[in-house]
Amino acid sequence: MQTQITSAPATKQLSTIPLLTHILRTEGISSVYKGVGPPLVSLSIVNTLSFTSYSYFRQNVFHGQDGWDVNNALSALPGAPLFGIVTTPENFLKTQMQLDNVQSEREKANKSQTNQLQSINGTRGRFTSSVHCARTLVSSHGLPILYTGHAINTVREASFVGAYFFFYEGYKEEFRSSLLGLEKVMFSGAGRSHNSSFSTSVAIPLAGGFAGATAWALTFPLDCVRAGVQGQLISSSPSNARLQKQGALEILKSLLKTKGITGLYAGVRPSIARAFLVSGSRFSAYESALLLCRRSGLTSSERSSRYED
């Protein structure tokens, strides 16, 4: 949805469900998992780096407090350049793999205008796997091709993680306070004491989910431009190795010219839904790991020790 804005006529641009149906009908169910390899590897690394970096800078440098504290956003920013180094190749390969079938048809159309060639080759893409994609493009264009869109991706990473942790800490306090208040009302009427561990266990995934959704909504235009830069047709032929790729500003101007401001939010709804589910489980795992480390004496108990009750 992000890339069809610049690659398809307005009459052929599809919304979420029609686009999914089209992909399943023309490419099969396996196609919705194309490019899954690079994210599995890079996100394992980036999640480790981002949470570790955030915890360190929050406790030792910026001294962020629970709740709506801008220092929490600042604590997340120092790791962004490192995240960009890891995620730029991942995002590039993922985007190229997801658009592989579409791009192969574009490349064929550039070589020949006949429908005969397309009907013979069907919708088979150029790459058999993410590793094959990386090897093919690197052999034709050199290693720097993997860092197409590095600048815009790093800016997006910084903007996202800053908003991500800021909203998480704020939402967590808001949800926890609200749930505690609700529990007090409910249990006081029943003559029983309340237990704040329930409020905390519910507040964490809710805060994580809403933080992910909010951060994605705010930074989605940057990701849309990033996808446009990294989703450009890149020939796998060495004879066409010299490319005139569009940069982030050119993609931004093209999106605004052809689609308006709404073009910067193409695909925002499925991304927000995904972010809510992923972030809720991510922060639950993070807080659970911190709790286990504190109880095992592996880390300081200063941060959020009151959540252990």
pLDDT score of 243:
56
Structure tokens at 212: 């992910």
Residue 137 CB partners (closer than 8 Å, separation 6+)? 96, 145, 146, 234, 236
When pLDDT is averaged across residues 254-267 and rounded to a whole number, the result is 89
When pLDDT is averaged across residues 133-137 and rounded to a whole number, the result is 92
pLDDT score of 306:
45
pLDDT of 256 > 60? The answer is: yes
Question: Of 254 and 238, which is predicted with more confidence?
Answer: 254
pLDDT score of 194:
55
Give 122's pLDDT tier (boundaries 50, 70, 90). Answer: very low
Give dist(CA 301, CA 277) in Å, integer.
28
pLDDT score of 35:
79
pLDDT of 154 > 70? The answer is: yes
Cα distances (angstroms) measured from residue 114 to each of 53, 103, 120, 233, 298:
54, 16, 11, 20, 66
Chain centre distance of CA 186: 39
Give 304's pLDDT tier (boundaries 50, 70, 90). Answer: very low
pLDDT score of 182:
81
When pLDDT is averaged across residues 85-99 and rounded to a whole number, the result is 92
pLDDT score of 3:
72
When pLDDT is averaged across residues 281-308 and rounded to a whole number, the result is 74
Q: What is the pLDDT of residues 54-85, one digit of tens each?
A: 999 999 999 999 999 999 999 999 999 999 99
pLDDT score of 301:
53
172 with 207: CB under 8 angstroms?
A: yes
Among 26-30, 170-174, 203-207, 304-308, the range scoring the smallest mean pLDDT is 304-308
Sign of CA dihedral 95, 101, 105, 108: positive
pLDDT score of 118:
41
Q: Can you give the pTM of this predicted structure?
A: 0.80
When pLDDT is averaged across residues 16-44 and rounded to a whole number, the result is 85
Residue 36 CB partners (closer than 8 Å, separation 6+)? 94
What is the 3-state secondary structure of 240-266? HCCCCCCCHHHHHHHHHHHCCHHHHHC
